[in-house]
Structures are given as C-alpha cells and as structure tokens.
Amino acid sequence: MLKIFAFSNKVCNNTVLNKTNATLFSNPFSFSAKLNSLSRDEVSFTSRKKFQEKAQLQPQAIVQTSRAGKKDLKDKERTITNGLAHSIYRQADSNTIQLKSVLNKAFYPYIQKRGYCDNKHPILKLEYRTKGASSLREKASSKHIYTKEGVIVNLQDLSGARIILGSNQKGSADVVIDKLAEVVKDGKLKIVEIENHTPADKKYQYASQTKLHKLAKASSDKFGAFVSEHITRNETGYIAIHLTVEFPDGMRGEIQILGRDVAIFKELEDLPYKILQGKSVKPEYAEIVEIFKPLTPVRNNPFDPENIEKAKLRQEFSAYTAAAYKHERDKMPVSSTSKKVSSFLSLDEFSKMSKRKIHLPKEVDFNNLYKLKIKADRLAEK
C-alpha cells in the first residue's frame, strides 16, 4: 500500500479529526493553535545531490530525483548493519520508482505549459527522493532501531515526493487534490494520513479542510482503512499539505504539496532549525552555526540569565520565520524557466511590519543566510 508524507523533524500539536470508523468522517474538525515543532521526521529534500531528467510522458515536465548524501556515523554507535541498510534502501527505492510512475502518469497534463502555471496547469515540477543507506543507519541509531522490521515501522520517510505548485491562484491546489482522489479511487495510491500545515489565516492555506476531507474519505472508502486528518500550526509557520502513503510491502513514504517559493525557503529554513535543535549539520555550514550561537542554549541552568536572553531571541526568530513563510506564500507565480530566487523577508521589513524593535543579530537575516548557504554548497561541490 502507498503512504505519502512530508517530513520536517519538528514537533507539532496534532489533533486527530476523525476516528477509526468511516461513519465518523462528518465530525467537526478541530485543532490546537498552540505552536509546536513537528512530531515526527519528514521527507527532507535538502542538502542532497540532485539531477534532472525528462518526465516519461510529458516533455515539459522537469522531474528531479535526489539521493541521500553521505552522513557521518561513528562506528561505535549501535545501528543496523551497512548491508541491511543498503537492502532496505533498494526496497525503498523500488517503491519510490513505483510512486514516481503513478504520479508522472497522473499529473503530466497538469504541468505548466508556455512557461507559466495557471489553474489548468498548476504544477511547476515533480520531485522524488529515497532515503540513502548512510542516512538510514544514522536515523536508526538515533532511534535505537536495530532490525528491518523496526525501520519499516518507525521510519516513515523512506520514500518521498513533492508536487511543486507554480501558481498561488485560488483553487490551483484543488486541481491536484481532485486528481489525487481519482488515483486513489483507481486503487493506485493508498493514503493513510493527511496533515494540513497551515496558519490560522485561511488566506495562506493551499486547500480547504473540506477538500482534504474528501480525499481522506476516498481512500477510506476504497481501502477500508483509517485515514487520520490533522490541522497543524507549526512554530516556524511552515505551509504545506503532507500526505502519508503506504506501499504494498508495508513501507511508508510521503507526498508534499507546496509552492515553489515556499519549497525554496523550506530548504533554507531547515538549516537554522536543525542548528537550534542541536542536530548535526554538515561541516561546510560552520559559519552559519557560528552565527546562531547567540540563540543557541547552553547546557546549564535554564533559568540562567544567559539562557533566558537566548530564549527570547529564539522566540523572536520563530516569529520572523513564520512571517517569512507568509511572505513566500504571497509572492506572484513565476516562470518555470526562471532560476532567479527573489529576496526573502528581511529583518528590517519584519521590524516594520511587526512595529517593534528587533533584537536579533543582523546576520540571521534570511537573505544573508541564503548567500552563505549557496557559497558553502558551491565550495563543498568542489
């Protein structure tokens, strides 16, 4: 069975909107407005080598597939064996290929034509990735997983896909949701969870909860399985639709639906998020790690004055990040041939819109972080 996900490794306060009985699908939707980070791992498309290839059924469709880059893992750490990791990777990659075939065939008529996206052709491109063997071993070690069964049950980001929207016109995401419902009804895709990452302001959501509920019901009716539905408010302000799918072999993966500008910003925002969460990042990002030291908590008394000040800065940075996501969502559609990335929300702009003095170091301005990240990535490629 298929399971589609979006992964961000952030904790979120989710409320299950329906129960295990399909007859309860009409229950009112509810959510918690409390801002937390995501509760589980998400499919990550960041910091990975990518290559492009033509879509099998649509010459204009740019399909990107990314493979996991090498990650450091100490030999003394307990984890799955290297051989088992490669075996799981091959199985997961087969599922990714299956998912790619299904989505390419379904969405080739909806990919942009003549350079721009509109409601009839809302998709800019499709992306796919499989979690690599080294990444599998690292994640298994962090979660104390030592068997194949443990990996399949606990790691929900083995395969991933992204449907990148090139239009922010109202209703463009509905076209994608409706087509996914058709694929589900044909038995080619089994969705087991839908998570709508959206701010409280409905202006910024990609699709209504009613529209997503119809997709959930289509999968429940077809496969007779429970489909959980969530509305999520993230502390970062992340905006996207995540669909969890389940493959016939029991493995799971994720499909993310989001706009081009949000996707670009998400790849940048993931870096400071990981740094502030104490997660490891690649050595080439050492300069960015240094920039965030004024915000990084020190391991001592949380009531220490230094930690209190750092906490205030982190809260301010979270508010800045949430505003920056809305800024990306507000941007006008772009040409599919354009490689230029327009500027992100600056600290000065954030200060003006929030009508308050900002205490964050100027170096954490997302425009500066983007330049540093691009520079680091290019040096690493050499």
**Between 138 and 126, the higher pLDDT residue:** 126
Give the H or E element holding residue 268. helix 260-276
Averaged pLDDT score across all residues of the chain: 81
For residue 189, is pLDDT > 80? yes
**Between 54 and 221, the higher pLDDT residue:** 221
**Between 82 and 67, the higher pLDDT residue:** 82
Strand 49-54's sheet: what is its strand order? 49-54, 62-67, 123-130, 159-165, 252-259, 240-246, 191-197, 228-232
pTM of the model: 0.79
Per-residue model confidence (pLDDT) at position 299: 73
Of 95-104, 110-119, 290-299, the one with minimum mean pLDDT is 110-119
Per-residue model confidence (pLDDT) at position 116: 77
**Quick one: pLDDT band at residue 46, thresholds 50, 70, 90?**
low
For residue 27, is pLDDT > 70? no
Q: Which structural domains are found in the chain, ordered by start?
A: 22-258 (3.30.460.10), 267-381 (no CATH)
Of 103-107, 179-183, 304-308, the one with minimum mean pLDDT is 304-308
Average pLDDT over residues 275-280: 88
Per-residue model confidence (pLDDT) at position 41: 53
Which residues, at least 6 apart from 44, have a Cβ–Cβ distance to it below 8 Å? 7, 8, 9, 157, 160, 270
Per-residue model confidence (pLDDT) at position 30: 32
Per-residue model confidence (pLDDT) at position 170: 80
Closest to 268 (Cα-Cα) out of 253, 281, 278: 281
Beta strands in the chain (DSSP E): 49-54, 62-67, 123-130, 159-165, 191-197, 228-232, 240-246, 252-259
Average pLDDT over residues 47-75: 40
Percent of the chain exceeding pLDDT 90 equals 61
For residue 234, is pLDDT > 90? no
Distance, in Å, from the CA atom of 375 to the CA atom of 379, rounded to the nearest integer, reads: 6
Per-residue model confidence (pLDDT) at position 293: 95
Q: Give the count of beta carbons closer than 10 Å to the beta carbon of residue 362.
A: 11
**Quick one: pLDDT band at residue 77, thresholds 50, 70, 90?**
low
For residue 311, is pLDDT > 80? yes
Average pLDDT over residues 346-375: 96
Distance, in Å, from the CA atom of 19 to the CA atom of 336, rounded to the nearest integer, reads: 41
**Quick one: pLDDT band at residue 212, thresholds 50, 70, 90?**
very high
**Quick one: pLDDT band at residue 206, thresholds 50, 70, 90?**
very high
Per-residue model confidence (pLDDT) at position 219: 98
For residue 376, is pLDDT > 90? yes
Of 110-124, 244-258, 360-374, the one with minimum mean pLDDT is 110-124
Interval 148-173: pLDDT, tens: 999 999 988 899 999 999 877 788 89
For residue 67, is pLDDT > 90? no
**Between 167 and 87, the higher pLDDT residue:** 87
For residue 379, is pLDDT > 70? yes
Of 50-59, 188-197, 322-331, 352-361, the one with minimum mean pLDDT is 50-59
**Quick one: pLDDT band at residue 68, thresholds 50, 70, 90?**
very low
